[in-house]
Amino acid sequence: MLRAEPGIAWARGVQGAGSGQQELSARATWGQGDAGPTEQTVLLNSGTRMPLLGMGTFRLQGAELVSQCVEAALAHGYRSFDTATVYHNERAMGQALGALLPLHGLERSDIFLTTKLGPQDQGKAKAEAACLRSLEQLACSYLDLYLIHWPGTQGKHQEDKGNRERRWESWQILEQMHHAGHLRAIGVSNYTLQHLQELLAHCRVPPAVLQVEFHPELPQRELWDFCRHHGIHLQAYASLGCGQLLGRAEVERVAERRGRTPAQVLLRWALHQGVGVIPKSASPTRLAENAQLWGWDLSPEDMAELAGMDCSRHYCWDPSGVT
């Protein structure tokens, strides 16, 4: 197995992930009193603690914009950052974190960093090199969480029977790199219930996280229940329905009752259920608003009203057709 080169100075404070899989269920650990925005964490089944709130970076392009967003996020207490190979911003993220963490009195070990294996890199021939490339571009010697981004393979039909074999080969590479200490936790993104069942039937290391589209119009109850039963933490992306849910009457009514923004209501809806969120914004003001999620909650009546929005609508990618 290839060895990752050590990261630059900001990556100090690394501790090995170890090869032992701890028997820990994913569960939220809530702070007491008026806790900071990212002091709320979940203990993953790998023994790794992850903030429930993170900053998403989808479509954040260019070193200057990435640096501005990371600076604003750090200033408002974000300590978790989510990127991916297909976002084409890993190098910019590594440079921004390397420059900005010391200015905030922080080290690599003070943040939680996630990236993902791109669909073009599925399979044993490409997965390891892709992971090591992400480590190099992010300028660090380990990742807190590494996900398989999509159950299919770029350039192959969704119904291609080779999808199953290639994603299994990728998972075996992730297990190896987890045991070697390069990946503290491993997981998947956009997997369906069938994909998860298939993985759990054969894996040595169970996925710590499933990242999926999750919002009141797509609450994915069966999938969420399955994850809770098997100690897999569910993390939401597209919590705002790509912006389409901000103007929904139900969301606006709850926001008015709570004295909050529609975005805060939608993010709190997920957190209320113990589901992590990774909102993305290029606006420092919205980054600050999105961090104001603690010290208040939604009532049972609020949750019931939002539950009425369920219509199984995807605003992003639907993986149900992937063999």
CA dist., res. 194 & res. 199, Å (int):
9
CB 197 within 8 A of CB 189: no
CA dist., res. 54 & res. 79, Å (int):
7
**Residue 87 annotated to the active site:** yes
SS3 at position 82: strand
12, 112, 48, 173: CA torsion to nearest 10: -80
List 87, 146, 191, 237, catalytic entry: 87
Q: Which of 91, 15, 86, 80 lies closest to 53, judged by CA?
A: 80
The two tokens of residue 238 are 């597209």
Q: Which of 153, 138, 81, 136 lies closest to 110, judged by CA?
A: 81
| Separation in Å, CA 171 to CA 37, 109, 203, 210, 281 | 33, 25, 8, 13, 31
CA-atom Rg of the chain in angstroms: 19
CA dist., res. 294 & res. 276, Å (int):
13
CA dist., res. 62 & res. 59, Å (int):
10
Which residues are catalytically annotated? 87
